[in-house]
Structure 1
């Protein structure tokens, strides 16, 4: 479809790595007086967060497809077809932006049926399956980082959109705590392996260190029950940068958004990529982070408490330098592309 588009439809369905960047872009477009519809799942985190910011939402209920049993894949296919039908009217005379994950599929398919233009955002260095599947049909693929593998289609590096609270903290140049503090963070859903590791090092880390664990809601009860007096456990936070900036070292998975936020704050980091991530994309993210920010990568199979303690003591003395690859205005770049190339009125 050609001509002027009246509405921008954005899908951030999935984990925090999907809906937080989508939210930042949606708010930038609203600031520019554009009409935005934010796709969510009913009663999931993305709906709560979108409504908290006053966004217009439409609820659909797609289910993950990959890595499921045959019957679950059948159920997922039915849910995706229903989601496509639910938003056909929404995507007519609209331009869409899909931020990856299984939530991208119904939005993209609906756009293709309506011949509406759509953009894909790919935060990881290894493109996801939805990105690979639809890259040649997208108007443009917006990249959070340089890709590690070739991708067909029209690509542009925009950086990963960072939340306003984090950027405000950077602009304030708040001083870091002088206390030695190790932060374990596993992303929006937590990471059980990192939670266990954090509890294990309580007994071997020198006593002048404090430990903070962002455990995820799923693991909070048992992690909190096993902590000692110098450990603080937080189930979930909408402003992880408050903890990151107070940490002398961060131990984290290597999701694109989490890593980008840590690097933007110039905090020393040890990345432990999730070994079962599709196409090992977290490993390639971590490898990139270590190259541009002098952070450290340890594969999970090589992690021991003694080795981690040694890395912590070494890493906190390494100076992280912010490099040009950390793009601080990604949401503005993405909004510019959507408005100009998507012909949004």
Structure 2
């Protein structure tokens, strides 16, 4: 395999913000180091290309198998294979130094193509559970960067590749990370931030406004709520807050979310990897409601990590009712010391050097200072060509 250590670094990321935001953070750091960046992503890139203004962007076909049966795999296979073919051609043209995949099925085609090409590859796992694509390719990559020291489903044979880097966060998050937390005392305003991830969450609109409306009048009068809501939910949410006399700012998207987080006394949200990392870096207490249908319950594992550190309160969606939330908020907001302690605990979990450590890892990989491929793939390459990869779509 001919190396191209001065070639671009390829970031393979797609789907939701949870995968794209760490890739964006890495791209920002690598650009500061003078590296060229290429992004290979799925064909929804039009929604996210502004996150990578200095990158060469290549959309490729991708698909997520629907359901657990063979039929779902069969339906997804043509798009995935087409994505591998296109990615293989792209990598041949741009001659990258290394490729890093951020998980999710949109990254499978470029990661597979890079392995076939002999490009040095690593993957990054943001969650406390090793994702399905990362599990699928783990034995073929040179390194597995991770937010957590023992992600679930990491096989013993691949444990030696694990590098604890943390989850990179965007420059905008780092910029606000040093601002102190002051719990609301006496009659101080109480700033709540409510959001449901990059896709929004209907349950937040269904539960949170009604719960806040049940709080004692004196407490309601102190509330200042910022809530992300789906477009179709905004007017009914606005009406509930208005009837309850609660000051609220609503939008389907906030492009200054780090500023919103740092201004909050308490955050109510999902527990995706980027949310967890940003709450920890900024140091803000939270009530976390894991997405109940996430693959392998990764959001539940993330929430439990933060809750076990005393930085958050986790509640499963089936128990996330107006009455339960109102009771929890009445207790928490009456005790500023609990909020302050949770803020300190959150910040203690932060990994502010994650982007630097991940960039170091990728550059070392591109220079050949780490094994370029896993044992099985290296053996195939040594035998006279890239060989046949020993994985099947959807395998674990």
TM over 0.5: yes
Q: 1:33 aligns to what?
A: 34
The equivalent of 2:23 in structure 1 is 22
Correspondent of 2:289 among 248, 268, 272:
272
Residues matched between the structures, number: 344
State how 1:176-325 maps to structure 2 within 5 Å: 178-205=188-215, 206-207=219-220, 208-217=222-231, 219-220=233-234, 223-224=237-238, 227-228=241-242, 230-316=247-333, 317=336, 318=338, 319=341, 320-321=343-344, 322=346, 324-325=348-349
Determine the C-alpha separation between the residues in 2 that align with 1:165 and 1:97. Answer: 22
- Per the alignment, residue 343 of structure 1 pairs with 367
Secondary structure of the residue aligned to 1:103 is helix
Q: Does 1:131 align with 2:134?
A: yes
Higher relative contact order (CA 8 A, sep 6+): 2
Supply the RMSD in Å over aligned alpha carbons.
Answer: 2.5
What is the Cα deviation at residue 226 of structure 1?
A: 5.2
CA positional deviation for 1:224 = 4.5
- What is the Cα deviation at residue 283 of structure 1? 0.9
Q: Is the 1:184–1:195 contact (alpha carbons within 8 Å) kept by the matching residues of 2?
A: no
Q: Which has the larger radius of gyration?
A: 2
Task: Note the C-alpha offset of 1:169.
Answer: 1.4
Distance 1:165 1:184 in 2: 19
Residues 40 and 46 in structure 1, CA contact (< 8 A), matched pair in contact too: no
Gap runs ≥5 in structure 2: 370-396
- The residue that corresponds to 2:110 in the other structure is 107
- Quote the offset at 1:184 in angstroms: 1.3
Shift of 1:341: 2.2
| 1:149 and 2:152 aligned | yes
- State the shift of 1:306 in Å: 2.3
Q: Contact 1:212–1:232 at 8 Å: present in 2 too?
A: yes
Q: Name the structure with the higher helix share.
A: 2
**Counterpart contact for 1:47–1:57, Cα < 8 Å:** no
Q: CA deviation at 1:63?
A: 2.1
- State the SS of the aligned residue for 1:87: helix
* Structure 1 residues 145 and 48: CA distance shift in structure 2, 3 A: same
**How far has the Cα of 1:331 moved from its partner?**
1.1
Q: Contact 1:176 / 1:245 at 8 angstroms: preserved in 2? A: no
Query: Matched residues in 2 for 1:71 and 1:218: separation?
Result: 33
- Structure 2 CA distance, aligned partners of 1:263 and 1:325? 6
The answer (yes or no) to whether the contact 1:210–1:231 under 8 Å persists in 2 is yes
Distance 1:129 1:218, change over 3 A: farther
Q: TM-score, normalised by structure 1?
A: 0.90
Q: Report the TM-score when normalising by structure 2.
A: 0.79
